Amino acid sequence: KELNTPLSRRVTQLRLTLERWRWLPHGFERPPIVVNFPEFRLYAVNQENEVALSMKVVVGRAYRHKTPVFASQIKSVIFRPYWNVPLGIQQKELLPHIEKDPSYLSEYSFEVVDSSGNIITEGAVNDEMMEKLRSGTLAIRQRPGPENSLGLVKFEFPNQFDIYMHGTPAMQLFSRSRRDFSHGCIRVEDPVSLAAWVLRDEPEWTVEKIRTAMNGDETVRANLEKPIPVLILYGTAIALEDSEVRFFDDIYGYDA
């Protein structure tokens, strides 16, 4: 398939990617972190505009859960985060499981909470609770730990889409060549290295302290004094620092 792609198509991919880059911000107070969906890869850039860190990522599914393109800033890192289940996932995916299996909540470390975060139940769910879960009056969240869907680290950057980067217990997905499996958020292959990079100007946050926080008993938030820019972008062509050019599938159909 790749060998039979005409050269004119490759030129079009380069032109479209260059056009997208042209519309992005180019001035940053600090070197940015860049995520490119079609490549399923994250890059962290240093002061010399060289790639200092790179890793695989999992992005939103091409069908119904596309990760949006936008720019933001990482303002905090949360170790051992709770996962507050979005209402759509709660209604369409979790409630059918709870109806079939009364032990579903406790088995996967979920709890039902009210709008103030008070725990209503960690086990059985009665009909009244089910109705409130359907309407969104009550919510479901997953307790921190190795089985949490966000893994042990969450990278927060404000945006209108409620998208963030995080670890994952499903490490086997990183061995796939095509990695669009999430509901929209970005799962990172090496959250420890990324946390160390993001917190590199906070001297108390050594790799040892990062690992301790990940494996501790409490949820810990580390706020950045200087936020780090993040570019979430879409490019089906990329030129590497050694001048090698790579091309990727148009997974979301944006080139088309």
DSSP for 60-76, please give it: E-TTT-PPPPEEEEEEE
pLDDT in tens, the chain (256 residues): 889 999 999 999 999 999 998 988 888 889 999 999 999 999 999 988 889 999 999 998 876 678 888 899 999 999 999 999 888 888 888 889 888 887 888 888 899 999 888 888 888 888 888 888 888 889 999 999 888 899 999 999 998 888 899 999 888 888 988 888 787 789 999 999 999 999 999 889 999 999 999 999 999 999 999 999 999 999 999 988 888 999 999 999 999 9
For the chain, strand residue ranges (E) read 33-36, 41-45, 51-60, 70-79, 83-84, 110-113, 119-121, 139-142, 153-156, 165-166, 180-182, 186-188, 220-233, 237-239, 245-247
Rounded Cα–Cα distance for residues 67 and 144 (Å): 24
pLDDT at 157: 92
Computed on alpha carbons and rounded to an integer, the radius of gyration of the chain in Å comes to 20
Rounded Cα–Cα distance for residues 250 and 45 (Å): 25
pLDDT at 48: 87
pLDDT at 80: 96
Q: Which residues, other chains included, contact 212 with Cβ-Cβ below 8 Å and sequence gap of 6+?
A: none
Rounded Cα–Cα distance for residues 134 and 128 (Å): 10
pLDDT at 223: 95
**Other beta carbons less than 10 A from residue 89's beta carbon:** 15
pLDDT at 156: 95
pLDDT at 27: 84
pLDDT at 69: 87
Question: Hey, which residues does 214 pair with through a beta bridge?
Answer: none
pLDDT at 218: 93
pLDDT at 1: 86
pLDDT at 6: 95
Helix axes 191-198 and 207-214, enclosed angle (nearest 10)? 130
pLDDT at 245: 93
Per-residue pLDDT tens for 188-203?
999 999 999 999 998 8
pLDDT at 224: 94
pLDDT at 79: 97
